[in-house]
Every structure is written in C-alpha cells, then in structure tokens.
Amino acid sequence: MKLAEKHNIPLVETQAGKSTVESTFPKNLGGVGILGTMAANKAARQADLVIGVGTRYTDFTTSSKTAFDFERTKFLNINVSRLQTYKLDGFQVVADAKVALENLEALLVGYETEYGEMLVDWKAEWLSERTRLSTVTFSRENFKPEIKDQFSQQVLNEYSDALKTELAQSTAMIAINDTVDPESVVVGSAGSLPGDLQRLWHSSVPNTYHLEYGFSCMGYEIAGTLGAKLAHPDREVYAMVGDGSFLMLHSELITAIQYNHKINILLFDNSGFGCINNLQMENGSGTYFCEFRTHDNQIMNIDYAKVAEGYGAKTYRANTVDELKAALEDAKKQTASTLIEMKVLPKTMTDGYDSWWNVGVAEVSERKSIQRAYEARQEKLKKAKQY
C-alpha cells in the first residue's frame, strides 16, 4: 500500500490475494484477468512492468496470457517458490514479499508512474459500473444488455415463471455485501459466483475473503465455510454456493449442525450449471444438458430450503432484495446454522471486461457455429503469449 501510494502504482488482485488490501484503498482497482474489473484490466494492459507479489499467474489471472502487452511488459516476480518466479519470463526474486518490497521502496525514491489521474478515473468508472450492476432488473419485455443474451426473452420468461423470481445474481450479490458485517468471512469456489465475487465483492477488513480457486472445486464451499468457522468462531461465516455445487456436496452442513458450529449458506439457485451453460453457448454448442429440466423439458424448481430444514437448519426463501436483506439480518441473530435460498435468473451473472479464456473447442465438427468458434479461438490464440 505504501509503495502504491508513494509512486502511484495501481494495485490489482487475484482471487487468493483479495482482501489483503481493502477494496476502499484508492489505488486498489480490484480483480484482474478473466474475472477482473474493467479498471484493473485497463491498468494491466498499459503496464510496462508488472510486479507479481506471491502470484502464481494462473490462467485466470493472465486471461490465458492475453492480459498484458507482452511485446513491452516486463515481469518482476517476488515469490517464496522459485518455480513461480520463472513464470512469464519474469525477473526472479525468491524472497519474502515484505522484505523484497521494502528493498524495492529504497530504490524507487522520487519515482512516479505515468498513470497520473487515470487511476482515479478508472476506479470511479468501475464503481459506477458496480452501482449499475447493483440494480439490474429483469424485464419481461426487454431484458437489458447486462443480462447475457444467450437465452431468448421467451426462455428467460419461462425461467422467471418456473422459479417465481425476477432477482438478478449481481443485484443479490451486492445486496449481501451491503448487509453482512464487514468482519464476516465469505467463502466460495465454483460456478459463476467466483466471477461475481472477484468483481463485485468489497472487502473492507483484511483476510475476510476465501476463494478456493486453485482447482475451483465444486463442493468445497460448505466444507470450507465450516473450516473458516473453526478458525474464526466469533465471526459470521458465509458459504456462497450455486445449486450445482450444493447438489454435489453439502454434507458438512450436517457436521456443522451436529457439532454446533454456526455456518450460513447463501444458495444461488438458477436451476442449472449456469457457467458451464455459458461456455457451451459461447463456443457454438448451444445449450446441452446443463439446465435442470425434466424429461419433458420442464424447468425444475427444487425446494432447497426444505432440504436444509430437514437437516435442522434455520431456513429462509428470498427472491427480492428486501426479502434477502431481512433474511440476512434475521440469520445474524440465530445460533443455529442457516440457509438462505435465492432463486436467481440464469444469465444474470456479471460478464467479462476486456478478457478472454482459452476454452477448448472441437477442431472437427459438422456444425457451422462450432467451426466459427474454433476459428475465433485460433485467431485469439495468435495474440496470446506463446512459449
């Protein structure tokens, strides 16, 4: 923070690094890469030097090696793991981060980056985008551009009718951020939620954001939240979990009830593997078995609150922002574990900002849409750093 402040250096975050520095810190432009903010991705593209502090430069951080101007940008990698320092042909500094940064500070006396007021403007621009995302409303006639437009209006209306909701995921996410105590810990792992969390979640207290994004393993969310509770018995802990991840693994909810460690589960039910459905549809396959529909094509509306109630949790159903905020306030007062079920519309997660993910597409297909997606990927790969 000192270095960023003194020399006007933008600070961008990875999933593992988030909540090391408060979101309110003026030079903190938020998440970078595939799940990053517009502000952080702009700063990354314009940097001539990237100082990687403990980062492993995963595919998500580098937008599959397209996030930076590799012709020009150099990398200085500070890491306790020698292996990690070699990444992106970086200058290798095997050291403790704090010691290395303090040494760097001594060398930078009088230096200031050329970002100037741009950092202030980018941050302000992103905050207004975030505000816009906090009020996304579904419309029956005309869905707005912030809702991914892969499903037709008719299909979205069908979801709205089946799930009896008009709630957008990004709206719900920011409402939760506004309502839970800043010292509480949020835990996530898989689905579309990590993207919304990395872009939208503001941490104002250090070490309150815990994302398993090494493998993004579905089913980690509730188990990880129980772990966070054991580490922080005096804080509220919240699992951010999709319906797909919940179905895959939630048995630690029973362990939490059994041993009286209170956890809170925030279940975002969009009736499907939403992010995988996005990948299918963005890459020419169309929708393929990732919507939870019955044999006769009816959208499934599963009563997850009832499931958790059966285990002995205190449960809520919240399909509007007001219901959600009331449920969160009441959940804080409980001593037992809680689950808040939200029915959210598919395609209302946030989208990328000048980023790209190298997703495999079949090279051979009779489908024109897949052939086009394959060509587009090959084009994009030309711009990615090659080794």
Ligand X SMILES: Cc1ncc(C[n+]2csc(CCOP(=O)(O)OP(=O)(O)O)c2C)c(N)n1
Question: Which spans of this chain sit near Mg ion (rule: CB under 5 A)?
Answer: 242-244, 270, 274
> What is the rounded distance in angstroms from the CA atom of residue 79 to the CA atom of residue 100?
9
φ/ψ of residue 242, rounded to 5: -85, 165
- Which helix (DSSP H) or strand (DSSP E) does residue 57 occupy? none
Q: Choose between 275 and 327: whose C-beta lies nearer to ligand X.
A: 275
Q: Choose between 38 and 173: whose C-beta lies nearer to Mg ion.
A: 173
Q: Which partner from the list Mg ion, ligand X, none does 4 bind, CB cut-off 5 to 8 Å by kind? A: none
> What is the rounded distance in angstroms from the CA atom of residue 162 to the CA atom of residue 1?
48
- Specify the residue for token string 């020009």: 72
**Residue among 60, 66, 61, 63 at smallest CA distance from 77:** 61
Q: Choose between 101 and 249: whose C-beta lies nearer to ligand X.
A: 249
> What is the rounded distance in angstroms from the CA atom of residue 46 to the CA atom of residue 137?
34
Per CB under 6 A, which region of 27-35, 43-51, 173-181, 271-279 contacts ligand X? Answer: 271-279
Instruction: Pick the binder of ligand X from 170, 198, 245, 283 (CB under 6 A).
Output: 245
Q: Choose between 60 and 115: whose C-beta lies nearer to ligand X.
A: 60
> What is the rounded distance in angstroms from the CA atom of residue 218 to the CA atom of residue 236?
22
Per CB under 6 A, which region of 57-65, 113-121, 236-244, 298-306 contacts ligand X? Answer: 236-244
Site track 287-306 with ligand X (rule: CB under 6 A), x = hit: --------------------
**Residue among 322, 249, 287, 350 at smallest CA distance from 159:** 287
Positive or negative: CA dihedral 26, 80, 196, 151: positive
Q: Choose between 184 and 216: whose C-beta lies nearer to ligand X.
A: 216
Minimum Å distance from CB 115 to ligand X? 34
Q: Which partner from the list ligand X, Mg ion, none does 193 bind, CB cut-off 5 to 8 Å by kind? A: ligand X
Q: Which partner from the list ligand X, Mg ion, none does 342 bind, CB cut-off 5 to 8 Å by kind? A: none
Strand partners, 239: 187, 265
Is 17 a residue that touches ligand X (CB under 6 A)? Answer: no
Instruction: Pick the binder of ligand X from 78, 275, 324, 342 (CB under 6 A).
Output: 275
Instruction: Pick the binder of ligand X from 33, 188, 242, 284 (CB under 6 A).
Output: 242
Site track 180-219 with ligand X (rule: CB under 6 A), x = hit: ----------xxxx----------------------xxxx
Q: Do 37 and 199 meet the contact criterion of CB atoms below 8 Å apart?
A: yes
Residue count, binding to ligand X (CB under 6 A): 18
Is 168 a residue that touches ligand X (CB under 6 A)? Answer: no
Sheet strands (E) in the chain: 11-13, 28-31, 49-53, 74-79, 91-94, 185-188, 209-211, 237-242, 264-269, 314-317, 338-343
Contacts to ligand X by CB under 6 A: 190-193, 216-219, 242-245, 270, 272-276
